[in-house]
């Protein structure tokens, strides 16, 4: 089983996507502020 993680870095936010299971298309997403606190939370 493979998992994929993608992070889109924008000026104000970080969009994170985690594809946990390719076959079952199980996915989690999260949006964080592009700040020091957002990076720590990531």
* Total domains present in the chain: 1
The residue whose two tokens read 């199980």 is 26
Give how far Cα 1 sits from Cα of 6, 18, 21, Å. 17, 14, 7
Question: Dihedrals φ, ψ of 3, to 5°?
Answer: -125, 145
- List pLDDT tens digits, range 15-25: 999 998 888 88
Mean pLDDT of 10-33: 92
User: Taking the CA of residue 30 as centre, how many other CA atoms within 13 Å lie in the half-sphere pointing to its CB?
Assistant: 10
Mean pLDDT of the residues in the chain: 92
Q: What is the pLDDT of residue 36?
A: 96
Give the integer Cα–Cα distance in Å for 26 and 29.
10
Give the integer Cα–Cα distance in Å for 22 and 8.
20
Q: What is the pLDDT of residue 1?
A: 64
Global pTM reads 0.75
User: Residue 25's domain spans which residues?
Assistant: 5-41
Q: How confident is the model at residue 6 (pLDDT cuts 50, 70, 90)?
A: very high
């Amino acid at each position: 089983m493979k998992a994929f993680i993608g992070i889109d870095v924008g000026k104000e936010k970080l969009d994170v996507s985690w594809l946990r299971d390719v076959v079952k298309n199980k996915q989690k997403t999260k949006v964080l502020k592009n700040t020091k606190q957002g990076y720590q939370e990531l």
